[in-house]
Amino acid sequence: MSYALTEEQQLIQQSAREFTREYIEPIATEMDRTGIHPSAVVQQMAEHDFLGLYLPEEFGGTEAGYLSYVLIIEEISRMSGAVASILINHASLAAYTMYRFGSAVQKQECLPALCSGEKLAAFALTEPGAAPGVGSHKVIATKEGDHYVLNGHKCYVANGGVADIYVVFALTNPEAGAKGMSAFIVDAKAAGLSIQRTIGKMGLRGCQSAELIFENVMVPQSNLLGAAGAGMKIVKEAQLVASVAEGAQVVGIAQAAMEDAVKYGKQRVQFGRPIAAFPAIQTMLAEMATHIHIARLAVYDAASLIEKGEDFMKEAAMVKLFTGRIGQSALIDVIQIEGGYGYSQEMIASRFYRDIKGAVITESSAAFPEKVIADDLLA
């Protein structure tokens, strides 16, 4: 790896590696089995300053930069994609949205608690059956005096039910459809906000997903995040920022899976030699190593752009597009290399196979990678 990481970045990477070994490795398998949110690990992440790593010091963050942050995501993902998802939803989606689009007062009020770990955040966009703001369960925010009143359903909200604070997207102008969407900061304890159910997932189990019901939830006007009607623009930017972290998640999972396949391939003997000696196996390994390497460079590059405050949308979308393809195929090949044994629920490869699919699923249509890239090319 020749990508020039600074000494500080290397130290952060190293500490995330140790963190993962100490706090995540012992619980990762059990967490996958139970699907229970690992609150102790989240507290440890807070103590290690991971939760606000890239946010400015003035808001309680560490100001170590977005690249350092994705290095942590990559390390954590080598053991648990689920813990990485908890962090991404907290830091790249919810906290990022508040940091980028919040008023000075909102930032002062919310971010320090998110950086310290006093509060965990979530990003509530998705709705059942249709794109947000479109279907019959859409969340509508009706203005009443100095409050908005929210009604509707959100689903697949990661950290849902365990978060203390939600960034919620709701229609302030229902006639305009999805274009009339706005973002709000909503306290999890707000009256009328309830958790309908948690949702079972194929993988990333432990990063709890929930369905939220809003029944006349009163939200002060001062909790409107960004301009009224700016929802789609906010979603696009936040999801693309998160895409880069998800790219790091894919790289981390795929790297760990590949290392597992290498180890297995060296020790599994068939036809009198280690299977890693067969060109067919070597080709699979060589291709995934190449893909992971290129993906990692693209992730670091896009993270650097975000860190420097430069245009990053196209590069972030490229990360999403590329890691989506290569992450999936890497895990299909890893299990293939490990044969019938790799297919066992008890082998780590089968968890990685399920987890990586969650990491590569596309964000909403606002941030559709092909569309974002093509729009940029054709502008």
Partner 1 sequence: MADMTLTHEQQKLQALAREFTAKHIIPVASEWDEKGEFHKFILEEVKNIGLHCMAVPKEYGGPGCDSVSQSVVMEQFGYGCCAFATTLGGNGLSSYPLAIAGTDEQKQLYYGRLVAGGMGGFALTEPGAGSDAGSCATTAKLDGDKWVLNGTKCFATTCGVANIMVVFASTDPSKGVKGLSAFIVEKERDGFSVGAVEHKMGIRSSNTVELLLKNVRIPKNHLLGNEGEGMKIAMKTLDMARPIVASMAVGVAQRALDAAVAFAKAYLDVNGKPIGMQQAVSFKLADMAIQVEAARQLVRNALRLKDAGVPYTKEAAIAKTFATDTAMQVSADAVGLMGNYGYSKDSFVEKLMRDAKVTQIYEGTNQVQRIVIAGQLLR
Residues in the site for partner 1, rule: CB under 8 A? Answer: 126, 129-135, 155-156, 177-178, 199-203, 209, 232, 269-272, 278, 280-281, 324, 328, 332, 335-336, 339-340, 343-346, 350, 353-354, 357-358, 360-362, 365-366, 368, 370-371
Structure tokens at 225: 């995040």
CB of 371 to ligand FAD, least distance (A): 5
Q: What is the closest distance, in whole angstroms, from the C-beta atom of residue 173 to ligand FAD in the complex? A: 19
Q: Which residue has the tokens 């990692």?
A: 296
Q: Which of 123, 128, 19, 126 lies closest to 74 in space, CA to CA?
A: 19
Which of ligand FAD, partner 1, none sits in contact with 135, Cβ below 5 to 8 A by type? partner 1
Query: Counting contacts by CB under 6 A, is residue 345 touching ligand FAD?
Result: no
Q: What CA–CA distance (Å, rounded) separates 265 from 269?
A: 8
CB of 161 to ligand FAD, least distance (A): 11
363 is catalytic: yes
Q: How many residues bind ligand FAD (CB under 6 A)?
A: 34
In the block, which residue shows the tokens 């930032």?
107
CA distance 373 to 368: 9
Minimum CB distance to ligand FAD, residue 102 (Å): 18
* 216 sits in which H/E element: strand 209-220
Contact 244, 68 (CB under 8 A): no
Torsion sign (Cα): 34, 39, 45, 47? negative
Cβ 113 to partner 1 shortest distance, Å:
28
CA-to-CA distance for 140 and 143, rounded, in angstroms? 10
Report helix angle 66-77 to 231-267, nearest 10. Answer: 40
In the bound state, the residue with its beta carbon closest to ligand FAD is: 339
Cα end-to-end distance, the chain, whole Å: 35
The nearer residue to partner 1, 222 or 344, going by C-beta atoms, is 344
Q: Which residues between 271 and 310 bind ligand FAD (CB under 6 A)?
A: 271, 275, 278, 280-281
Task: Say whether residue 362 binds ligand FAD (CB under 6 A).
Answer: yes
Classified as helix, coil or strand, 53 is coil
Residue 125 binding: pick among ligand FAD, partner 1, none (C-beta 5-8 Å cut-off by kind):
ligand FAD
89 contact, one of partner 1, ligand FAD, none, CB 5-8 Å limit per kind = ligand FAD
**Of the two residues 64 and 261, which places its CB atom closer to ligand FAD in the complex?**
261
100 makes contact with ligand FAD (CB under 6 A): no
202 binds, among partner 1, ligand FAD, none (CB under 5 to 8 A by kind): partner 1
Q: Find the shortest distance in angstroms from Cβ 329 to ligand FAD.
A: 14
- Backbone dihedral region for residue 249 (phi beyond 0: left; psi -120 to 50: alpha; all else: beta): alpha
> Which residues lie closer than 8 Å to 129 by C-beta, 6 or more apart?
135, 136, 137
Residues in the chain: 379
Smallest gap from Cβ 90 to partner 1, in A, equals: 18
- The verdict on 358 binding ligand FAD (CB under 6 A) reads yes
Which residue, 85 or 223, has its beta carbon nearer to partner 1? 85
In this complex, which beta carbon is closest to ligand FAD, that of residue 157 or of residue 224?
A: 157
Cβ atoms of 78 and 153 closer than 8 Å: no
Residue 249 makes contact with ligand FAD by CB under 6 A: no
Spatial CA neighbour of 137 closest among 163, 170, 160, 165: 170
> Which lies closer to ligand FAD via its Cβ, residue 68 or residue 223?
223
Binding-site partner at residue 123 among partner 1, ligand FAD, none, CB < 5 to 8 Å by type: ligand FAD
Per-residue DSSP letters for 132-184?
TTTSTT--EEEEETTEEEEEEEEEEEETTTT-SEEEEEEESSGGGGGGGEEEE
Q: Is-contact 50 87, C-beta < 8 A?
A: yes
Binding site for ligand FAD (CB under 6 A): 89, 122-126, 131-132, 156-158, 204, 209, 268, 270-271, 275, 278, 280-281, 336-337, 339-341, 343, 358, 361-365, 368, 371
Catalytic positions: 363
